[in-house]
Amino acid sequence: MTSARASLVVALALGVAVAGVAGAAPTDPAATTTGSTALVASVTLPGVPSSSTGQLESPPTASAGGPFSYPEDGSALRIGASTASTTAQAGTSSSAEGVVRALAVSLLGGEISAESVSVRAGAAAGAAGATGDTGTSQVTGLVVLGQPVAATANLQVPLADWGTLEVLGETSSTTSAPPRSAASAVTGIRVRLVAEHAGLPAGSELVIGLATATAVAVPTPTTPAPPVTPVTPAGPTTGTTGPGTGFPGRPTTPAKPARPAPSAPKEPGRSIPGAPPELVRPAPEVTARLSQGGYVFPLFGPAAFGDTFGAFRADVSGKWHHGEDLVAPAGTPVLAVADGTLFSVGWNDIGGWRLWLRDTAGNEFYYAHLSAYSPLAIAGKSVKAGDVLGFVGSSGDADGGVSHLHFEIHPVDLVHLGYDGVVAPYPFLVAWRRADDVSFASGRRYVPSSTGAPVALARAGAVLLQATDISTSSGLVPGALKRALAGREARSNAKP
């Protein structure tokens, strides 16, 4: 980016001039790669490279944010603040998402302005189907040549005799032919000049908010069954009887190791066991869709979530987000994601009213910030996938904030790491919502680095160099930003 032409007040990740990034973002359902992109802004003049915030790309994850102006005085384009993020994970159930949010937007000296431009492109594909959507994208407070304009999808507005304005240009596509795939793309605001205007030549293009996502399902590998060699038993040996125990030539059935009783990893904060009777509510009748592996989306009803795993959290172990926040109306039923056993039901001064579930394979799931429990929420109780365990709320350190479920996944292979043995819930939530499955072994996890910051371990060996917690900066949980600024120490050493 040429400093004489543009000023990026806060450096953005991958902040470089990219030629052609402002072009159309077609969706290709026949694509062979899962990935996503996000671009906050770009300005393209005929015959010269584009000046832009730089395009984020995934997999695995990327995030950035800051103001932007072009040229330095912002006369052509100015953004007061912005955030952008991308995430993508390939597999038998693939998912990808690109998100951009820009605030205090002004173009062409204020001839076009908007309070905010928020775009999201999502895609998911698996054995049960494929979806691509841009449904939550919006532009608020749009004013064009002094007149307020209601922003709707694929809106075209003529700009006198010198240009055109496109608002929320959206495309999405899917294919059901193997391998299943989906793609989506959205542009918040695009201005094209057909004549010289405001010091810019004809053919110039200005873009605010561009996101794309593509997901391609990887075929499930088929492993042929090993050949079975018939063995003729010779008769029992002295002192042993029964199949698989004392017959020469017959394999001895290995004894299954005893699995320890479920117990929660050392959680940050202090805990008090038990659910008070006044917090137990009757469970409604619900019917949940199970994946072939027997897993269920953890909420029954509408919910919104992103990928904030690993983002900064001041009051938890390691100071990073160990799960995902699913925003939903207070009282939304919370479901058991699998058959298993409940444990550690009760109060925690960070998670609030919370509980743990251990499935039959040994994987553990943490539910926090509940408002109430169902009659099934008893430590040691066996439950089935889809059973109502409790209800969404804002207890614990989310008190007074937006109601949501904090959800964590602790695979059995990582249980030995304690509370830090977690994987990013996002791809699993996307898959379970569509009744698909994702292997826990392919999950993205975090471990502390030498500096104490979380580092993403991806299967391809990529690492997350920087993470920005968008939710706390937007006020999703009142008080969270205050706690972050105050730098409260983690309460991981407090006695339970």
DSSP states of 323-359 as a string? SEEEE--TTPEEE-SSSEEEEEEEEETTTEEEEEEEE
Q: How far apart are CA 372 and CA 389, in angstroms?
A: 9
Retrieve residue 485's tokens.
């600024």
Q: What is the pLDDT of residue 202?
A: 95
Amino acid identity of residue 423, one-letter, is V
Tens of pLDDT, residues 194-249: 999 999 999 999 999 999 999 888 776 555 555 555 544 444 433 433 333 333 33
Q: How far apart are CA 421 and CA 371, in angstroms?
A: 26
Q: How far apart are CA 364 and CA 356, in angstroms?
A: 7
Weakest-pLDDT range from 59-68, 273-282, 305-314, 481-490: 481-490
**C-beta separation of 206 from 190 below 8 A:** yes
The per-type count for the chain, helices as H runs and strands as E runs, is 3, 27
pLDDT tops 60 at residue 256:
no
Give the number of other Cβ atoms within 10 Å of residue 492's Cβ: 18
Phi and psi torsions of 473, nearest 5°: -70, -25
Q: How far apart are CA 282 and CA 355, in angstroms?
A: 17
Amino acid identity of residue 68, one-letter, is F
Residues with Cβ within 8 Å of 240's Cβ and at least 6 positions away in sequence, in order, are 246
- Three-state DSSP class for residue 304: strand
Of 159, 170, 169, 168, the C-alpha closest to 192 is: 159
Q: What is the pLDDT of residue 483?
A: 54
Q: Which residues of 265-274 are buried (b: 16+ CB within 10 A; e: fewer)?
A: bebbbebeee
- Torsion sign, CA atoms 328, 435, 138, 82: positive
| Residue whose token pair is 């584009």 | 50
Q: What is the mean pLDDT of the chain?
A: 78
pLDDT tops 80 at residue 188:
yes
Tens of pLDDT, residues 342-367: 999 998 888 999 999 999 999 999 99
- pLDDT-derived band at 15, boundaries 50, 70, 90: very low
Q: What is the pLDDT of residue 441?
A: 77
- Which element (helix H / strand E) includes 45? none
pLDDT tops 60 at residue 370:
yes
DSSP H stretches of helix in 170-292: none
Tens of pLDDT, residues 430-471: 999 888 888 887 777 765 555 444 444 443 334 344 444 444
**C-beta separation of 436 from 126 below 8 A:** yes
Q: How far apart are CA 79 and CA 90, in angstroms?
A: 33
Q: How far apart are CA 60 and CA 462, in angstroms?
A: 7
Q: What is the pLDDT of residue 318?
A: 74
pLDDT tops 60 at residue 192:
yes
Weakest-pLDDT range from 25-39, 271-285, 385-399, 453-467: 453-467
Tens of pLDDT, residues 119-128: 999 888 776 6
Q: How far apart are CA 152 and CA 143, in angstroms?
A: 13
